[in-house]
């Protein structure tokens, strides 16, 4: 008897995985709703709310005025009174419009009420450069929100991560900011049809290696994998770690890797100066200093606003070649 042919794994693009994650939450939680600018009729600026209004109706999916301050305030108030809102901050750059609500209400209200008020708010927002949207619509500002006690912060890299982390965020009784990436929207990957949640605070070892550790945030994970292939030809067997959750951060997985490899690099798309990479590097040297054979390397964007010019923007964004160049410098090869 011939062996049964194994069914081909189901694949979805990143954008569709976001939609499926939101839809799953709305199906599972009757007190969940979606609110934001153009999320209802238009399905969101990148279309990842398409079909949500038709399925769940205008009482649970609705457009808001163009006021990020009002959107976050709505989420805080609704969550404190028993709902589980999914609010949309169209671009992460707009955090400046609502930072008081984010920093002084969303992040602090549960603490200030002694735990009596829960704030199960899931905020979806879009970060990253690469689409020539210029300096006010292309930033990666994860360091801002990671610095605020009371918030959880996740950064899905793959379609699988996008669905699983959105569901996990919505099930959490704390506010969770889900930082999505524009240039990842068309990337396809395996996504189970059933509901699943990825544990918050657990990193993913995407590629195992023996003598070099690369911690890569968000879309930079894909660049790190390309770099690891190039480094292999130089005799460097790189382990690539995707944190997936930035707050809380899985220090143990990173430190255990460095204890094995003895060298480390942190890569993010955000500006290098003051970026979350500095915090990760500090944690590595605090917990694995005696295992390090070289200082922790960092790769990030230059200290400049994101350029509009496509040529300049591509030069601005870190990539595999820059990762390899920094590794060669660190290794002296």
Say how many Å lie between the first and final Cα of the chain, rounded.
55
DSSP string, 212-268: EEEEE-TTHHHHHHHHHHHHHTTT--EEEEE-SEEETT-HHHHHHHHHHHS-EEEEE
The H-or-E segment that residue 109 falls in is helix 109-112
Please answer whether residues 281 and 241 qualify as being in contact, where contact means their C-beta atoms are separated by less than 8 angstroms: no
The SS3 of residue 50 is coil
Q: Which of 20, 37, 137, 223 is catalytic?
A: 137
- Rounded (10°) CA dihedral 184, 16, 170, 270: 10
| Burial zone of 37 (CB within 10 Å; 0-12 exposed, 13-18 middle, 19+ buried) | buried
Q: Taking each helix axis from N to C terminus, what angle separates 220-232 and 320-331, rounded to the nearest 10 degrees?
A: 50
Active site annotation includes 137: yes
Active site annotation includes 286: no
CA–CA gap between residue 237 and residue 229 (Å, rounded): 9
**Tokens 């398409």, residue located:** 50
DSSP string, 190-215: E--SS---PPTT--EEEE--SSEEEE
CA–CA gap between residue 259 and residue 256 (Å, rounded): 5
- Rounded (10°) CA dihedral 168, 92, 306, 320: 0
Please answer whether residues 191 and 12 qualify as being in contact, where contact means their C-beta atoms are separated by less than 8 angstroms: yes
Take residue 187 and report the two structure tokens written for it: 């990337």
Take residue 137 and report the two structure tokens written for it: 């619509």
Take residue 299 and report the two structure tokens written for it: 């790769």
Q: Which of 68, 239, 269, 313 is catalytic?
A: 68
Catalogue the active-site residues. Answer: 68, 137
């Amino acid at each position: 008897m011939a062996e049964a042919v194994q069914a081909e794994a189901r694949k979805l693009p990143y954008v569709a995985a976001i939609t499926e994650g939101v839809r799953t939450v709305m199906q599972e939680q009757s007190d969940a709703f979606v609110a934001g600018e153009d999320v209802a009729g238009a399905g969101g600026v990148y279309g990842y709310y398409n079909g949500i209004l038709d399925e769940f109706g205008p009482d649970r999916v609705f457009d808001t005025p163009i006021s990020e301050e009002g959107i976050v305030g709505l989420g805080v108030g609704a969550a404190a009174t028993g709902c589980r809102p999914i609010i949309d901050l169209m671009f992460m750059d707009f955090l400046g419009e609502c930072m008081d609500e984010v920093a002084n209400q969303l992040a602090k209200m549960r603490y200030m009420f002694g735990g009596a008020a829960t704030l199960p708010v899931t905020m979806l927002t879009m970060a990253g450069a690469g689409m020539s949207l210029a300096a006010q619509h292309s930033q990666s500002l994860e360091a801002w929100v990671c610095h605020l006690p009371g918030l959880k912060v996740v950064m899905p890299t793959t379609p699988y991560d996008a669905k699983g982390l959105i569901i996990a965020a919505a099930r959490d009784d704390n506010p969770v900011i889900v930082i999505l990436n524009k240039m990842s929207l068309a990337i396809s990957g395996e996504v189970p049809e059933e509901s699943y949640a990825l544990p918050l605070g657990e990193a993913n070892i995407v590629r195992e290696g023996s003598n070099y550790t690369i911690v890569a945030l968000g879309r930079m994970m894909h660049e790190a994998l390309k770099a690891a292939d190039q480094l292999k030809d130089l005799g460097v067997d790189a382990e690539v770690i995707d944190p997936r959750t930035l707050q809380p951060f899985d220090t143990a997985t990173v430190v255990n890797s460095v204890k094995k490899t003895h060298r480390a690099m942190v890569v993010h798309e955000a500006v290098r100066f003051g970026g979350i990479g500095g915090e990760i590097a500090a944690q590595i040297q605090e917990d694995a200093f005696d295992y390090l054979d070289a200082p922790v390397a960092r790769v990030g964007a230059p200290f400049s606003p994101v350029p509009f010019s496509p040529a300049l923007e591509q030069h601005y964004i870190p990539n595999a070649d820059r990762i390899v160049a920094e590794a060669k410098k660190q290794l002296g090869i």
